[in-house]
Amino acid sequence: MSDLLQVRDLHVKFVTPDRTVNAVNGVSFDVSRGETLGILGESGSGKSVTLRSILRLHPEHRTRWSGSIKLEGDEILTMGRGALSDLRGQRVAMIFQEPATAFDPVFTIGQQIAETVRRHTGKSEADSWKRARDLLEMVRIPSPAQRLKAYPHEMSGGMRQRAMIALALSCNPALLLADEPTTALDATVQIQVLLLIRELQREFNVGVIFVTHDIGVAVEVSDRIGVMYAGKIVELAPVEQMVDAPRHPYSRGLLASTVHDGMRGQRLEAIPGAPPDLAEVPTGCSFAPRCKFVQAECVARPPALGDVGGGHLVRCIRTSAAETNVAA
Amino acid sequence: MQSPTVDIAAALVRPTVASASRGYWPSVGRRLRRDPVTLICAGILLLIVLSSITAPLLGLADPYKTSMIRRLYPLGSPNHLLGTDELGRDMFARLIYGGRLSLFMGVMPVLCALLIGGALGITAGFVGGKVNMAIMRVMDVFYAFPSVLLAISLSGAMGAGTENTLLSLTLVFIPPICRVSESVTTQVRGFDFVDAARASGASALTIVRVHVLGNVLGPILVYATSLISVAIILAAGLSFLGLGVKPPEPEWGLMLNTLRQAIYVNPVLAALPGVMIFITSICFNLMSDGLRAAMDVKA
Amino acid sequence: MDALLPPEDRGGPAQPLLLATGLRKHFPVPGGLLGRSGKVVRAVDDLSLSVAKGETLGVVGESGCGKSTVARLLIRLITPDSGTIVLDGDPVDEPHGITVNELRRQVQMVFQDSYASLNPRLTIAETLAFAPKAHGLPAAEARVRVRDLLDKVGLDPANYAERYPHELSGGQRQRVNIARALALRPRLIILDEAVSALDKSVEAQVLNMLVDLKTELNLTYIFISHDLNVVQYLSDRVLVMYLGKIVELGSVDAIYGNPQHPYTRALLSARPSMDPRRRTKEAPIQGDPPNPIDPPSGCRFRTRCPFAEDVCARTEPPLADTGAQAVACHMRVAGSGHSKAATP
């Protein structure tokens, strides 16, 4: 139980005349203040959809939700337009993968940040600008006073990303959502932004949900990691346990197939096959077609999320009974 | 590995896995068939076109036969469903026969401009560099003139008559089509698959034929069809000003001109050719919109 | 019989398969009067490299370093401002050498998977048959070749030949991209960020396939990527680029085990840690990769280098041999004037 964010049994479907896509199929997790939950998954896993659902960013006419998302006790899925608009930017903020499109190209960075501050906190014009300048300094943008007058296209990718972080934190949100914010950045810039996010999280005591497909990035920033596959969380554990002893065959396959040093000369253990079509709802475990430990029962019934101790949850029948010796 | 002696036909058997959409153009066709607006407009246009083409077989009155007595009869008169014009000719017949010239003057210039302007634009877009600059700057000169003024000046210089009108309208439409073609071609030219085709050592003509045309014809076609309605209106306008079709040929614009005096006597009659121009050009316009919407989806 | 046989080896294993010398490419920046602003993007400057037969040369660098431009220069999709390319002893596009078209028969490229890497209007079979047919292969034989290629990349021809790119997943599209590169039976394949856009599990499959194909078809690879881990896995030698120049070059063990250029060290330590107990505490360098429009004078890395001194602004460090690798840094050149350099 957490007093910041509680997601329970979230289902999200996208309905079009041609087909229905079951993007998220029963996701539950909590996030507390001061902790970072990393959500790790590949394309089609539903990680971005889950994140965007927290702010209800999907087009209303095509999306069907069920379940519950509670922020500090308030149910987001049934919130009215006014309350939702207050929520966005002020209590929950989001940073995106492509900073170029998050900013309006015809206004300066300073104008956009100051405007947000003014609208949400009611500060005066002068105070808002001062706050904007302080924020730019906080995200380590050099010469912040000058940068306030810069347009988004005049800044490099890394700086725009920092400016977006500044914008996101401008109203002291309780929860920060990060949707692959470093994927489009160069390696040397990525590590700077990751460290910045870690530092700011400590300073502001925000809860962070960090969505990524890169295991290394997830390990660097997260306290806990949730692995998603085909719209469900298949494993959720503190980061040390996830790296040392992953239990779900998908998580293990993911770690084993990610290239890092020391693997030179060995054949990579690739997970065979491809992720399932989300238009079909499987009868059993979604990972069964690709799993090397598959049994008859896996196809019969979808496995539930089982607790294997120490805050470690796994959605696999092989681990829900005894947690001993999950030999490869 | 299969040996080359395996039956080639068997190897190209359609996949058993059902896939939602196949080729691009078939899927465009499917989306068009589901669009009610496009279907209605297509139906109306088909009616107009068919009636124009089969006009002599429809048993209509003679559109050229004048009558001093039966002038400006109102709508619903016996023998004359839509009345008669200022020279006693049957309006219904003249409208249908008029459709032949008006539609011809709408579609032909756009077709010719499509061929010429399209070829120039695609060449400019694919080759780039100095060739592009040369072609596009020449087009810019013509583009600087508003199309109506340009049409009037060209027609005025060349004189009235159907052929001259066709020529001047074609010249008016070449620059905008060229511009759109160049822009789309430049965009496609930048895609990786074109680079891959260049890297395979194929000739430029082959690359344009196989890779570029299929991807640029769509947007160019949409733009061109939207010009048809403009062409019809321009042609009608030119005829109205006496610069286009010469009397006694039935043509909607010309009819608007000659019926001006009838406004005080029978305004509905005088508006009829205008109504035809309006219906036809709106239908072309809406169909062009529908085509663009159907083609927009990246299957 | 097959009209397109792979070309023969000349010069034996000691002769480099591809030798590029002094490649330079500057792009004019548009804008200003008459479309000329006077500024240039110095994408590649005086770059030389060689690729031995049967090896995999990895090329790493961040955005703006020019690695994609180098790839396109090597296959002559872009014409260099100056510099030469020699393919197995034959100079390219010169009076006594081979033509660009012949170069392209032997050197092919795999692009990063994207919507635009495959023609969306053509079926997979049509895309794969394009190059062989353009070189004169009759349609029937081209069809056989297409099936053969699809088999090699692990896609069932019966299922995939008549599909369109949008019906395929990213991994499958990338296999098609690789099959397309193999269509003319090349000797050298340049892979430009070929696995970067793929999910990690799919990336592993494709990497395994690339390794198998290399052995089976006796290929040579130039592997360009920003992902240092993948480059380490695949390459025999590695080349590190920064702002259009090579800063370090050597065997993969030397580069990864004992990096000598400050930029290489920064790149290697910028990789996220896989150990939650030993997280990165501090970013190795600050700032962003600079703009190739106005590179710094002298050593181009000096604006981000913690060891920069006056000599770095005055003269450009040459790419000097230091035993296991070659490094372009004043600190490694004896007598350069840098405080950390050895005295001659």
Q: What is the dihedral of CA B72, B76, B79, B80, to 10 degrees?
A: 40
* B248 to A201, A259, B150, B159, B245: CA distances (angstroms): 84, 82, 26, 17, 9
Query: What pLDDT is attached to residue B245?
Result: 82
Q: How confident is the model at residue A323 (pLDDT cuts 50, 70, 90)?
A: very low
Pick the closest to residue C192 from C181, C204, C208 (CA basis): C181
Residues of chain B with pLDDT under 50: 1-20, 299
**Burial state string for A131-140 with b = 16 or more CB within 10 A and e = fewer than 16:** bbbebbebbb
Domain boundaries, chain B: 35-296
Q: Does the CB of C154 have a partner CB in chain B at under 8 Å?
A: no
Query: What pLDDT is attached to residue B10?
Result: 30
* Residues of chain A found within 8 Å of residue C233, distances taken between Cβ atoms: 259, 263-264, 268
* Residues of chain B found within 8 Å of residue C77, distances taken between Cβ atoms: 195, 198-199
**What are phi and psi for residue A72, nearest 5 degrees?**
50, 40
> Coil, strand, or helix at residue A64?
strand
Give the integer Cα–Cα distance in Å for C104 and C74: 10
* C306 to A318, C266, C284, C301, C320: CA distances (angstroms): 52, 10, 10, 10, 21
Pick the closest to residue B193 from C147, C183, C184, C113 (CA basis): C113
Pick the closest to residue C188 from C222, C140, C161 (CA basis): C222
| C280 contacts C273 by C-beta, under 8 angstroms | yes
Asked if the Cβ–Cβ distance from C120 to B202 is below 8 Å, we say no
Find residue A178's DSSP bridge partners. Answer: A95, A210
| B109 contacts B173 by C-beta, under 8 angstroms | yes
Asked if the Cβ–Cβ distance from C184 to B200 is below 8 Å, we say yes
What would the two tokens of residue A245 be? 């002893």
pLDDT surpassing 70 at residue C1: no
Give the integer Cα–Cα distance in Å for A145 and A142: 9
Pick the closest to residue C101 from C109, C92, C110 (CA basis): C92
Nearest-CA distance B4 → chain C (Å):
6
Sequence-ordered list of residues with C-beta below 8 angstroms from that of B46, at least 6 positions apart, any chain: none
- pLDDT tens profile A76-127: 999 888 888 888 888 999 999 887 778 888 999 999 999 988 888 888 989 9
Q: Does the CB of C294 have a partner CB in chain A at under 8 Å?
A: no
Kindly state the average pLDDT of the residues C236-246.
94
* Residues of chain A found within 8 Å of residue C204, distances taken between Cβ atoms: 257-259, 268-271
Asked if the Cβ–Cβ distance from C201 to A191 is below 8 Å, we say no
DSSP code per residue over B13-70:
PPPSS--S--SHHHHHHHHHHT-HHHHHHHHHHHHHHHHHHTGGGGTPPPTT---SSS
Find residue C6's DSSP bridge partners. Answer: none
The larger pLDDT score, comparing residue A208 to residue B71, is at: A208
Give the integer Cα–Cα distance in Å for A176 and B158: 70
Mutate to test the interface with C, among B12, B27, B194, B297 (most CBs of C within 10 A): B12
| C125 contacts B12 by C-beta, under 8 angstroms | yes
Q: Does the CB of B215 have a partner CB in chain C at under 8 Å?
A: yes
pLDDT surpassing 80 at residue A328: no
Asked if the Cβ–Cβ distance from B11 to C147 is below 8 Å, we say yes
Task: Out of A189, A260, A270, name the one closest to residue C208 (CB).
Answer: A270
Asked if the Cβ–Cβ distance from C202 to A274 is below 8 Å, we say yes
Asked if the Cβ–Cβ distance from A264 to C271 is below 8 Å, we say no
Classified by CATH at the fold level, domain C18-120+164-332 comes out as Rossmann fold (3.40.50)
The H or E element containing residue C57 is strand C56-60
Task: Out of A191, A259, A274, name the one closest to residue C272 (CB).
Answer: A191
Place of tokens 């709106």: B282
Kindly state the average pLDDT of the residues C324-338.
87
Q: Architecture of domain B35-296 in CATH?
A: Orthogonal Bundle (1.10)
Which chain C residue has its CA at the smallest distance from B213's CA?
C121
Nearest-CA distance C121 → chain B (Å):
6
Which of C 182-201 lie inside 8 A of A, CB atoms?
199-201
Task: Find the helix packing angle between A157-169 and A109-121, rounded to 10°.
Answer: 10
Q: Does the CB of C135 have a partner CB in chain A at under 8 Å?
A: no
Give the integer Cα–Cα distance in Å for C35 and A79: 53
Query: What pLDDT is attached to residue B12?
Result: 31
Its ipTM equals 0.86
Query: What pLDDT is attached to residue A175?
Result: 95
What would the two tokens of residue B217 be? 């014809």
Give the integer Cα–Cα distance in Å for A190 and C63: 12
Nearest-CA distance B16 → chain C (Å):
7
Query: What pLDDT is attached to residue C34?
Result: 60
Place of tokens 């700077």: A192
- CA B130 to chain CA centroid, nearest Å: 31
Q: How confident is the model at residue C143 (pLDDT cuts 50, 70, 90)?
A: very high
- pLDDT tens profile A10-68: 999 999 887 899 999 999 999 999 999 999 998 889 999 999 999 999 988 889 999 99
Note the maximum CA span of chain B: 89
Identify residue B16 by its one-letter amino acid code.
Answer: T
| Chains linked to C by 3 or more Cβ pairs within 8 Å | A, B
Q: How confident is the model at residue C3 (pLDDT cuts 50, 70, 90)?
A: very low
Pick the closest to residue C17 from C172, C134, C189, C179 (CA basis): C189
Residue C86: CB atoms within 10 Å: 19
* Residues of chain B found within 8 Å of residue C108, distances taken between Cβ atoms: 199-200
| C213 contacts C178 by C-beta, under 8 angstroms | yes
Rounded to 5°, the CA angle C46-C48-C53 comes to: 165
Sequence-ordered list of residues with C-beta below 8 angstroms from that of C109, at least 6 positions apart, any chain: B195, B196, B199, C71, C72, C75, C77, C181, C189, C190, C191, C192
Of B5-9, C94-98, C216-220, the one with minimum mean pLDDT is B5-9
Residue B15: CA count within 13 A, CB half-sphere = 19
Residue C28: CA count within 13 A, CB half-sphere = 10
* Residues of chain B found within 8 Å of residue C147, distances taken between Cβ atoms: 2, 6, 8, 11
Query: What pLDDT is attached to residue A232?
Result: 93
What would the two tokens of residue A175 be? 């929860």
Mutate to test the interface with C, among A19, A180, A182, A189 (most CBs of C within 10 A): A189
Query: What pLDDT is attached to residue C35?
Result: 59
Give the integer Cα–Cα distance in Å for A139 and C82: 43
Query: What pLDDT is attached to residue B7?
Result: 34
Asked if the Cβ–Cβ distance from C252 to A264 is below 8 Å, we say yes
Q: How confident is the model at residue C4 (pLDDT cuts 50, 70, 90)?
A: low
Query: What pLDDT is attached to residue B17?
Result: 38
Query: What pLDDT is attached to residue B297?
Result: 60
Asked if the Cβ–Cβ distance from C284 to A215 is below 8 Å, we say no
Q: How confident is the model at residue A219 (pLDDT cuts 50, 70, 90)?
A: very high
Which chain A residue has its CA at the smallest distance from C207's CA?
A268
Q: How confident is the model at residue A325 (pLDDT cuts 50, 70, 90)?
A: very low
Q: Does the CB of C338 have a partner CB in chain B at under 8 Å?
A: no
Query: What pLDDT is attached to residue A275?
Result: 81
Query: What pLDDT is attached to residue B193?
Result: 93
| Chains linked to B by 3 or more Cβ pairs within 8 Å | C
Q: How confident is the model at residue C69 (pLDDT cuts 50, 70, 90)?
A: very high
Q: What percent of chain A has pLDDT over 70?
A: 97
Which of C 309-328 lie inside 8 A of B, CB atoms?
none
Q: Does the CB of B297 have a partner CB in chain C at under 8 Å?
A: no
Q: Strand pairing of A74-75 and A63-71?
A: antiparallel
Asked if the Cβ–Cβ distance from C121 to B8 is below 8 Å, we say no
- pLDDT tens profile B26-85: 888 888 888 899 999 999 999 999 988 888 888 788 888 888 888 888 888 787 888 888
What would the two tokens of residue A187 be? 């390696």
Task: Find the helix packing angle between B91-127 and B162-189, rounded to 10°.
Answer: 40
Query: What pLDDT is attached to residue B112?
Result: 95
Domain boundaries, chain C: 18-120+164-332
- pLDDT tens profile C291-322: 888 888 889 999 889 998 889 999 999 998 88
Give the integer Cα–Cα distance in Å for A234 and A304: 9
What would the two tokens of residue A132 be? 């904007």
Place of tokens 């939700």: A65
Q: Does the CB of C293 have a partner CB in chain A at under 8 Å?
A: no
Find residue C26's DSSP bridge partners. Answer: C42
- The DSSP letter of residue B276 is H
Give the integer Cα–Cα distance in Å for B153 and B142: 12
Task: Out of C116, C140, C158, name the one closest to residue B193 (CB).
Answer: C116
Q: How confident is the model at residue A186 (pLDDT cuts 50, 70, 90)?
A: confident
| Chains linked to A by 3 or more Cβ pairs within 8 Å | C
Q: How confident is the model at residue C23 (pLDDT cuts 50, 70, 90)?
A: very high
**What are phi and psi for residue C88, nearest 5 degrees?**
50, 50
Kindly state the average pLDDT of the residues A268-273.
86
pLDDT surpassing 80 at residue A271: yes
Which of C 177-236 lie inside 8 A of B, CB atoms?
177, 180, 183-184
- pLDDT tens profile A151-180: 988 888 888 999 999 999 988 899 999 999
